[in-house]
Amino acid sequence: MNEERLYKYFEKDFYIGAAVSPRVLKHKSQFVANHFNSITAENQMKFEELQPKRGEFQFDTADKMVQYARDNGLKMRGHTLVWHNQTPDWVFTNEDGSYVTRDVLLARMEAHIKEVVTRYKDDLYCWDVVNEAIDDKEGFLRQSKWLDIIGEDFIEKAFRFAHQYAPNAQLFYNDYNAVIPEKRERIYKLLKSLVDQGAPIHGMGIQGHWNIYWPNEDEIRKSIELYASLGLKIQITELDISMFEGEDKRNPGLVAPTKEMLKLQEEQYERIFKIFKEYRDVITAVTFWGVADDYSWLDYFPVFNRKNWPLIFDEKGEPKESYRKIIAIK
Ligand code: GLA
């Protein structure tokens, strides 16, 4: 058996996690337990998965993943309670299709959070309580049904409910593009208002869906320092380094990464892990959004069927040069 274990190189720094699905666990159960000491369910703890119909909770799949984590002594992050995506319509509507009132939606939010976090309170050490609530381009909060119906305090309420039913869990706000200056300022404003109101928030999840050209060191450092200045812990929650910038349609049909791509990716991984290590006193976990390059959501998004190679293990599960670069950092 392969004795090489990725997480060992970071044991003094932070947890090293991976997002997994039941399919990945079926094929790579040993591999995951070998290299990572934390997991996140890629989709299986989202609202639509856990409560597809009102009052009908489906925990079978999530329970199995939790059991896997337990059996293998892995930490597990909870992802995610309140989000504008992957949440069923019934949550926001009456039977005639009209929107429910603020009070009804708050009651549904509380019921969902209560059921879910109570069930896993001994297993999940943290939760992404609210995901992606900040607008990318302008204004402040992203338009969503949560916001429309409840108002701006839906975020604070979610944190209070989560804390009420899982008082020991560390509670995170999680978002992407969290290192882009304009969005970073808006996220900071939100976090600061939560902290000022005494809301039970403990951390900021920087998703880390990045690429081989972006972001730069300065953007990452400034972001970590700004969020941490509020007394929050930082986790990198969904790390992958895409070979492409956004919807870049060059290289259509590429079946293997070019040498140049791989080199830029190695440099990027090395650069960012140096920073993560430097900030080990505030960073408590770094989670990859996937395990190996045979499967990544980036093969389908934002360009469908554009093969990508964003992780540090290749399609066969062999360590890439990026892996060697990051384990060599002192
Ligand atoms: C966001 C969500 C994740 C996942 C990714 C895409 O980052 O937080 O749960 O859906 O998008 O896979």
User: For the residues 104-115, what does the mean pLDDT come to?
Assistant: 98
User: For the residues 180-185, what does the mean pLDDT come to?
Assistant: 97
- Extract the tokens encoding 116: 């879910």
pLDDT at 179: 98
Confidence of residue 324 (pLDDT cuts 50, 70, 90): very high
C-alpha 82 – ligand 1 centre gap (Å): 13
C-alpha 291 – ligand 1 centre gap (Å): 15
258 burial level (CB within 10 Å; 0-12, 13-18, 19+):
exposed
pLDDT at 321: 98
Q: Is residue 238 among the annotated active site residues?
A: yes
Query: Do β-strands 203-206 and 233-242 pair in parallel, antiparallel, or remain unpaired?
Result: parallel
Give the distance from CA 111 to its chain's centroid: 23
- Average pLDDT score, the chain: 97
Return the best residue to mutate from 238, 289, 298 for the ligand 1 pocket (most ligand atoms within 8 A of CB): 238
- Say which residue, 282 or 253, is predicted with more confidence: 282
242-270 pLDDT, tens digit per residue, is 999 988 877 778 999 999 999 999 999 99
Q: Which residues contact 196 (CB under 8 A, 6 or more apart)?
A: none
| CB 44 near ligand 1, within 6 Å | no
Active-site option among 42, 132, 156, 266? 132
pLDDT at residue 230 greater than cutoff 60: yes
User: For the residues 286-291, what does the mean pLDDT come to?
Assistant: 98
Percent of the chain with pLDDT over 90: 95
Interatomic CA distance for residues 140 and 183, integer angstroms: 9
Determine the atom of ligand 1 nearest the C-alpha atom of 238.
7
Confidence of residue 2 (pLDDT cuts 50, 70, 90): low
Say whether 287 sits in a helix, a strand or coil. Answer: strand
142-161 pLDDT, tens digit per residue, is 999 999 999 999 999 999 99
Candidates 69, 113, 70; CA nearest to 91 is 113
C-alpha 330 – ligand 1 centre gap (Å): 31
DSSP state of 8: G
Element spanning 241, H or E: strand 233-242
Q: What is the DSSP string of 284-305?
A: EEEEESSSSTT--GGGTSSSTT
The CA R_g of the chain, rounded to the nearest whole Å, is: 19
Q: Is residue 48 among the annotated active site residues?
A: no
Cis geometry, peptide bond prior to residue 319 (ω within 30 degrees of 0): no
Task: Quickly tell me which residue has 């934002």 as its tokens.
Answer: 302
Sign of torsion over alpha carbons 290, 42, 133, 121: negative
Interatomic CA distance for residues 185 and 195, integer angstroms: 15
pLDDT at 253: 82
Q: Which residues contact 18 (CB under 8 A, 6 or more apart)?
A: 32, 35, 36, 38, 39, 40, 287, 288, 290, 291
| CB 128 near ligand 1, within 6 Å | no
pLDDT at residue 186 greater than cutoff 70: yes
54-107 pLDDT, tens digit per residue, is 999 999 999 999 999 999 999 999 999 999 999 999 999 999 999 999 999 999
pLDDT at 1: 47
Amino acid at 261: M
| CB 297 near ligand 1, within 6 Å | yes
The residue ranges of DSSP E strands in the chain, in sequence order, are 15-20, 38-41, 75-82, 126-131, 170-175, 203-206, 209-211, 233-242, 283-288
